[in-house]
Homo-oligomer: A and B are copies of this chain.
Amino acid sequence: MGTVDVPEATVARLPQYLRALAALADAGLRTVSSEALAEAVGVGSAKLRKDLSHLGSYGTRGVGYDVAGLHRQIADRLGQTTPWNVVIVGIGNLGHALAGYGGFASRGFRVVGLFDDGTQVVGEVVNGLRVRPLADLGAVVRPGEPTIGVLAVPVEHAQGVCDRLVAAGVTSVLNFAPTVLRVPADVDVRKVDLASELQILAFHAQRRAVRSSVPAPTATVGERIGEVV
């Protein structure tokens, strides 16, 4: 119990639990049941207990979980006890917005560098940071302290810029460019694909539309109809 493998699906939910616990603590709650915490996060209580069991046991039977204790425990696991440095590369529309996004700082992330090679934007000050040319990456990314690189460049530059991030010592990358990045095995890449999200919503919407209009008229007695929704 402890450092052993936490399933990926569980890891992805830890930030949600953490946020809900912070809200409960703010509300003055000392203790919370798996039922109540699960409800706040929108999952089932069994799933929540299973998830927490992967971190070790921090609940008390008959009572529930200590809000502050569980919060500390999860924050610890997410590495939130020490601040993480973040550099943002590509200060266009999206990079600008990310540079000013308040949600990062409040979760223990420090944006320590903004980079772009566009002659327009280099030198501009965004949210208190001057935009620097990519050549300066090495001056900001210190091999000692872990740094997360956020890629917000146009898709055609993504791989090249990613290579430079990796060369500078970045081993965690959040990629907003809609492309598959090739990286060494020790580099972790996550992708946020905004257009994809809309396409997935569109798929579901179209499926709902088709299912609510087509099946009824075309079905004949005795035919089997696929389950609706």
Contact = CB atoms under 8 A, between A and B. Distances in A.
Interface stretch (A13-21, A46-54, A132-140, A159-167): A13-21
Nearest to A202: B79
Interface in A129-178: 146, 148, 171-174, 178
A221 interface: no
A63 interface: no
Given A3-B207, A3-B210, A103-B178, 16 more contacts: A3-B226, A4-B226, A12-B200, A15-B195, A77-B203, A80-B202, A84-B202, A84-B205, A93-B101, A94-B101, A146-B202, A148-B202, A173-B201, A174-B201, A190-B197, A192-B197
B199 A14 contact: yes
A68 interface: no
A39 to B, nearest CB: 9
A96 interface: yes
Nearest to A185: B229
Interface in A9-29: 11-12, 14-16, 18-19
A55 to B, nearest CB: 11
Nearest to A19: B178
A36 interface: no
Interface string A97-129: 110110110110100000000000000000000
A3 B200 CA distance: 16
A212 to B, nearest CB: 9
A67 interface: no
Q: Which of A42, A109, A193, A196 has the most CB of B within 10 A?
A: A196
A123 to B, nearest CB: 20
Interface in A172-229: 172-174, 178, 180, 186, 188, 190, 192-211, 214, 226
Nearest to A146: B205
A202 B196 CA distance: 24
A148 B200 CA distance: 11
A121 to B, nearest CB: 14
A11 B203 contact: yes
A89 interface: no
A32 interface: no
A200 B203 CA distance: 27
